[in-house]
Amino acid sequence: MGQNNILCIGGANIDWIGQYPGNSFPAFDIPITFKCSFGGVAHNIAQNLKSLGHDVGFMSAVGMDIEGDQIIAEIGSSGFTEKLLLQLANQKTASILFVVNPQGKHLFMQPRTEIYDFLTPELIETQSVNMKKFDTWVIDTNLSEEAIKYIVNIKPRQTKLYAVIACPPKSKKITPALAHLDALFLNQTEASLILSEEIKTENALLAADEIRKTGVKTVFLTLGEHGACVSAEQSQKSLPILKVNSIDTTGAGDAFAAGAISGLIKQKSAIDCLQQGLAAASLAVEVKSKTYGMLSSEKINQRGMINE
Under the phi-then-psi rule, with left for phi > 0, alpha for psi from -120 to 50, and beta for the rest, what region is 53?
left
pLDDT per position in the chain (308 positions), as tens? 444 699 999 999 999 988 888 777 776 777 788 888 899 999 999 999 999 999 999 999 999 999 999 999 999 999 999 999 999 999 999 999 988 887 777 788 899 999 999 999 999 999 999 999 999 999 999 999 999 999 999 999 999 999 999 999 999 999 999 999 999 999 999 999 999 999 999 999 999 999 999 999 999 999 999 999 999 998 999 999 998 888 878 889 999 999 999 999 999 999 999 999 999 999 998 887 667 878 988 899 888 654 34
Domain positions in the chain: 5-12+40-93+114-302
Please identify, in words, the CATH class of the domain defined by 5-12+40-93+114-302: alpha beta
Contact 215, 235 (CB under 8 A): no
Listed in sequence order, the residues at least 6 apart from 272 whose beta carbon sits closer than 8 Å to its beta carbon are 263, 306
Nearest to 56 by CA among 119, 115, 154, 133: 133
pTM for this prediction: 0.93
| β-strand pairing of 95-100 with 13-19 | parallel
Long-range contacts of 68-74 (CB under 8 A, 24+ apart): 68/93, 70/14, 70/38, 71/12, 71/13, 71/14, 71/38, 74/38
